[in-house]
Every structure is written in C-alpha cells, then in structure tokens.
Amino acid sequence: RKEVEQDPGPFNVPEGATVAFNCTYSNSASQSFFWYRQDCRKEPKLLMSVYSSGNEDGRFTAQLNRASQYISLLIRDSKLSDSATYLCVVNGARGTTDSWGKLQFGAGTQVVVTP
Amino acid sequence: SQTIHQWPATLVQPVGSPLSLECTVEGTSNPNLYWYRQAAGRGLQLLFYSVGIGQISSEVPQNLSASRPQDRQFILSSKKLLLSDSGFYLCAWRGTGSPYNSPLHFGNGTRLTVT
C-alpha cells in the first residue's frame, strides 16, 4: 500500500462549480499535511497547509480527518486558472527515523476546469 | 524573503556523460535541502536530503550523488548518466524551525533528457 494515495482524476469541472477530492495516508501518527499545486511542466507550489481544525484560504478549503486518515481539498467557484494537478503531502510522525527531512508525496489529482 | 535558484532549466545529455545540477538558496541560514526527481506522469521521488554542510542522506541507491559544499548550496551529480535518469529534477528547501510543520519550497526545476 502506498503511504499517500490520491485519485489521479481527471476531475472535469465546469467553470464556477465546486470540486472536492481526498487524499488518504497510511501512517496514523503523521503530524503535518499540505496541499501543493503543480502546473504542467512546472515545479510544485504550496497551496495551503492543512490544520487539524480545517482551514480556508479564499475559495479553497482544506480538511483533516484523523480518524479516517485522509485530508480533503475543496475548490469553490472554480476558475479556468485552477486547472492543475493537486499534490497531497504528508509529513512523518514526530520522532520516527524518517520524519526529519522527509515528506511523502501523493501522485496528484488532476483538475480540469472547462468554460 | 527567501529565494531558491536552480540551473540549468533544461539539459540534454548523452548516455554515459557526467551531470552536475546546482541549487542555491538565499535569504535563510542552515536550511534543510532536498533533491527530488519526477519522472513523466509520475509522483515526486526523494533522492537526497541534507540537514547541514557535508551531511547527505540518500533515499534511493542509484548512480547519482549529492554534495553540500556550502550552507546554501546543494549539488546533484552523476559520473555516468543512464537513460533512466531522464526526468524533472527539483531542488527544494525548508526551514529548520519546525520540520513537522514547515512546507517545502521548490526551485524551478531542471528538465533532463538523457539520449
């Protein structure tokens, strides 16, 4: 089983609609979580960190469900510019040998916003 | 503010030739530094990370090596490239204050094609 799993998509979303997708992780002791956005042939860029209580940044809302070991990203009022691959990133547990300096990346979920 | 520079942006090299990719970070001291590779249509694979000058941890055994001759300089090398070394190479850094809550920041990447 992969440590971080994402639905590869693509999620085809009409402009203005809402889209949501999840990312599951296997290490129940994971401590920190992030969503990155990667445009085609570009480097990943931090979209937002994911906090235990959930957090919002404009049209983007991130949630963490520790019991079921997943994080989610919701995009409201989708724009054409939201078309990208969204990477889920999970840090290892505090005190484990691989937690220092190592983040686990999902393979990404592709979102395509159509006019 | 912190910036990360990575070069070259693209590179085409024949099989068996050497490789040297360089990455420098500005605006921060003693960062954690990373080299990732992303094969076409695949997720990010951690190759090396460094928590200080001369300290290199290798995640995947292969014909690549890394060095950190200065605090904010990270170099990825190979003596003889293989076809399988083709990919998108990304340098990244993050602060040392809290590794469990600090996101990665990526350079623009080097697209390497081995022919």
| Residues A75-92: tens digit of each pLDDT | 999 999 999 999 999 986
Q: Which of A36-45, A93-102, B8-17 bottoms out in mean pLDDT, i.e. has the lowest?
A: A93-102
Give the torsion through C-alpha atoms of B47, B52, B54, B56, to 10 deg: -20
Average pLDDT for runs of 10 along chain B of length 115: 92 97 93 90 87 88 91 96 95 77 90 96
- pLDDT beyond 80 at A16: yes
Q: How far apart are CA A32 and CA A46, in angstroms?
A: 14
Structure tokens at B62: 């292969």
**Pick from A31, A87, A107: which is nearest to B100 by CB?**
A31
With 60 as the cut, is the pLDDT of residue A99 above it?
Answer: no
Chain length of chain B: 115
Q: Tell me, what's the pLDDT at B59?
A: 82
B69 with B82: CB under 8 angstroms? no
Q: How many whole angstroms separate alpha carbon A57 and alpha carbon B14?
A: 45
- The DSSP-derived string for A16-85 is T--EEEEEEES-TT---EEEEEE-TTS--EEEEEE-TT-EEETTEEEEEETTTTEEEEEE-S--GGG-EE
Q: Which of A5, A30, A48, A103 is the mutation pick for testing B, counting most B CBs within 10 A?
A: A103
Of B49, B101, B106, the CB nearest to A102: B49
Q: A interface mutation test: which of B10, B30, B90, B104 has the most A CBs within 10 A?
A: B104
Predicted local distance difference test score (pLDDT) of residue B19: 96
Residue, of B59 and A73, whose pLDDT is higher: A73
Model confidence at A60, pLDDT cuts 50, 70, 90, reads very high
Distance, in Å, from the CA atom of A37 to the CA atom of B94, rounded to the nearest integer, reads: 17
For residue B101, which residues of chain A lie inside 8 Å, CB to CB? Answer: 31-32, 49, 91
Q: How far apart are CA A65 and CA B114, in angstroms?
A: 42
pLDDT band at A32 (very low <50, low <70, confident <90, very high): confident
Q: How far is B40 from chain A (nearest CA, A)?
A: 9
**Chain B residues close to A43, C-beta within 8 Å:** 90, 106-109
